[in-house]
């Protein structure tokens, strides 16, 4: 969970003059961890709307519907999230990425529990984010090929 | 050099909107899980209703013990729901998002406490006159009871939030929570029940109500910050 508690041994971490623990840094960050931050009782639409509002974004209902159909959940937007499958829940969280306008995305295993179609739509979303000049850090157990050149950090050396 | 401009930062979030979104989200979730609300109200009703049955129909005795029993029942009912304040958000990852929000955490915590109070404090205030009838409390005392519960349950929610944040994610957190916050609830209980008794004995409730307000102000000032600090520790 390093976006929460970055503790460099020496010095300080900052991005465009915002120290990494500050509210200014948070305003430009979209973090998605293992917990999807979805409320089981609310529908996908309501989850996305309240999620965006908590990030300080005002999104139109049309934008929410467009994001949901982009990840293939068009017919399920009004169902409570608790009746959705694990993969569908993850796709609701992906729709949150579509709505995000944060320049920096930090995603923890975004490709886990996704079927092939959802994987390629996530790749499309990530490519679009990068093409618009966004920054992206994500972890994965699979080899993911994105259009933009990126740097692979192999964390296997720390596993032993 | 490619010419793609770095995505610009999102528009500055309006804090009021964010807090309102959090408050309404919590209320909406609670509206779809009515068992939580029902538990609090039912517990308060049952405890307060059992005492007159057990003690007997002597008006003098009931009037004497009424304020104390109603206040203790309200305190325990408020306590009952306290552990759930942050645990659901902790389990589903929403709490991480709150900590990474561009809104200062103490304000977000205050919005969550407000939602919690609307769901577990306010219903007690509304129900209290009905239960006060069982103890034959006079009309004036009933008004004071409602007023003190209104102010007092707010303090209870605020103080309880600090305990809920401190015990978040621990085993047997409910037990620890009650050990932590019950001593802190005592001033509210003493002044709250004392106000109603003072009103009934003709001394006037002014002094007790003022002290109750003072406790509320202190809690309002300190508790959201303390709870926010505790949440940061809990997620470390």
Query: What are the boundaries of each domain within chain B?
Result: 34-235
Q: Chain A residue with minimal CA distance to B5?
A: A133
At B209, the pLDDT band (50, 70, 90 cuts) reads very high
Residue partners of A121: CB distance under 8 A and separation at least 6: A70, A71, A72, A94
pTM across the whole model: 0.89
Which residues in chain A are closer than 8 Å to B236, comparing Cβ atoms? 4-5
pLDDT at B4 over 60: no
- C-alpha distance across the termini of chain B, in Å: 40
Kindly tell me if the per-residue pLDDT of B10 is higher than 70. Answer: no
Chain B positions with Cβ closer than 8 Å to A: 4-14, 17-18, 20-22, 24-25, 28-29, 32-33, 91-94, 96-104, 235-236
- Which among B7, B13, B96 has the least Cβ separation from residue A35? B96
Residue (of B218, B92, B211, B101) closest to B155 by Cα position: B218
- Nearest Cβ partner for B104 among A23, A34, A42: A23
Q: Are strands A14-15 and A18-19 parallel, antiparallel or unpaired?
A: antiparallel
Q: Does A24 contact B at CB distance below 8 Å?
A: yes
Report ipTM for this prediction. Answer: 0.85
Average pLDDT, chain B: 89
- With a cut of 90, say whether residue B236 has pLDDT above it: no
CB contact under 8 A, B12 and A33: no
pLDDT value at B161 more than 70 = yes
Top pLDDT among A14 and B146 is at: B146
- At B86 the pLDDT is 92
CA distance B227 to B109: 7
Q: Which residue out of A17, A40, A56 would a mutagenesis test of the B interface target, given it has the greatest number of B Cβ atoms within 10 Å? A: A56
Please report the pLDDT score of residue B3 as a whole number: 38
Residues A6-41 have pLDDT tens digits of 677 788 777 777 877 778 888 888 888 888 889 888
**Residue B214 in this model has a pLDDT that exceeds 90:** yes
Q: At what angle do helices A61-70 and A44-54 cross, to 10 degrees?
A: 120
Q: Is A6 a domain residue?
A: no
Chain B hits for A40, Cβ within 8 Å: 92
Over range B192-214, report the average pLDDT.
90
Q: What is the DSSP letter of B219?
A: H
> How many C-alpha atoms does B173 have within 13 Å on its Cβ side?
20
Summarize pLDDT for B163-177 with one digit per residue, the tens: 999 999 888 888 899
Percent share of chain B, pLDDT over 90: 56
| Arithmetic mean of pLDDT, A44-72 | 87
Contact B92 A39 (CB under 8 A): yes
Answer whether residue B122 shows pLDDT above 90.
Answer: yes
Top-confidence residue, A56 or B19: B19
Residue A8 forms part of a structural domain = no
Give the residue with greater pLDDT, B194 vs A15: B194
Structural domains of chain A, count: 1
pLDDT tens, residue by residue, B27-69: 999 999 888 889 999 999 999 989 888 988 888 888 888 999 9
A46 interaction partners in chain B (CB closer than 8 Å): 25, 28
CA separation for the pair A24, B101 (Å, rounded): 9
Structure confidence at residue A1 as a pLDDT band (50, 70, 90): very low
- pLDDT given for residue A4 in this prediction: 58
Other CB atoms within a 10 A radius of the CB of residue A47 amount to: 27
Q: Give the CATH number, domain containing residue A124.
A: 3.40.50.300
Q: DSSP assignment, residue A74?
A: G
**What was the pLDDT predicted at A61?**
86
Q: What range defines the domain where residue A71 resides?
A: 13-158
Q: How far are the Cα atoms of A2, A71, B118 from residue A7, in angstroms, in the given order? A: 8, 36, 38
Distance CA B204, CA B158 (A): 27
Question: Is residue B108's pLDDT more than 70?
Answer: yes
- Integer Cα distance of B109 and A141 in angstroms: 36
Residue A157: what pLDDT?
Answer: 73
Residue A94 CA to residue A123 CA, distance in Å, equals 11
Q: Which two tokens stand for residue B69?
A: 């029993």
Q: Is the pLDDT of residue A160 over 60?
A: no
Cβ-defined contact of A31 to B100 (cutoff 8 Å): yes
**What was the pLDDT predicted at A2?**
52
């Amino acid at each position: 969970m390093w976006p929460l508690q970055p503790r460099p041994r020496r010095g300080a971490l900052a991005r465009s003059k915002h120290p990494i623990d500050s509210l200014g840094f948070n305003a430009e960050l979209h973090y998605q961890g293992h917990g999807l931050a979805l409320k089981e009782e609310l529908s996908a639409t309501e989850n996305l709307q309240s999620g965006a509002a908590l990030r300080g974004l005002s999104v139109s209902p049309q934008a929410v519907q467009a994001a949901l159909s982009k990840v293939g959940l068009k017919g399920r937007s009004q169902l409570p999230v608790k009746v959705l499958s694990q993969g569908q829940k993850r796709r609701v969280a992906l729709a949150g990425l579509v709505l995000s306008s944060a320049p920096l995305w930090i995603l923890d295993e975004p490709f886990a529990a996704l079927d092939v179609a959802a994987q390629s739509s996530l790749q499309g979303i990530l490519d679009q984010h990068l093409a618009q000049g966004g920054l992206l850090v994500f972890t994965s157990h699979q080899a993911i090929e994105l259009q933009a050149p990126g740097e692979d950090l192999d964390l296997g050396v720390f596993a032993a | 050099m490619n010419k793609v401009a770095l995505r610009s930062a999102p528009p500055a979030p309006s804090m009021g909107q964010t807090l309102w979104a959090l408050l309404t989200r919590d209320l909406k979730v609670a509206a779809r899980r009515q068992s939580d609300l029902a538990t609090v109200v039912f517990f308060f009703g049952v405890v307060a209703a059992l005492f007159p049955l057990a003690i007997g129909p002597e008006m003098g005795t009931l009037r004497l013990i009424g304020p104390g029993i109603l206040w203790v029942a309200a305190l325990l009912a408020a306590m009952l729901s306290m552990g759930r304040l942050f645990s659901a958000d902790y389990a589903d990852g929403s709490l991480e998002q709150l900590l990474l929000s561009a809104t200062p955490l103490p304000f977000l915590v205050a919005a969550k406490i407000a939602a919690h109070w609307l769901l577990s404090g306010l219903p007690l205030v509304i129900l209290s006159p009905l239960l006060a009838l069982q103890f034959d409390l006079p009309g004036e005392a009933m008004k004071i009871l409602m007023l003190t519960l209104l102010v007092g349950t707010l303090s209870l929610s605020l103080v309880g939030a600090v305990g809920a944040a401190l015990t978040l994610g621990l085993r047997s957190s409910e037990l620890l929570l009650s050990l932590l916050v019950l001593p802190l609830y005592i001033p509210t209980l003493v002044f709250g029940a004392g106000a109603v008794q003072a009103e009934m004995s003709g001394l006037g409730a002014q002094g007790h109500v003022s002290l109750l307000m003072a406790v509320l102000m202190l809690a309002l000032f300190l508790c959201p910050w303390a709870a926010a600090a505790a949440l940061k520790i809990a997620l470390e």
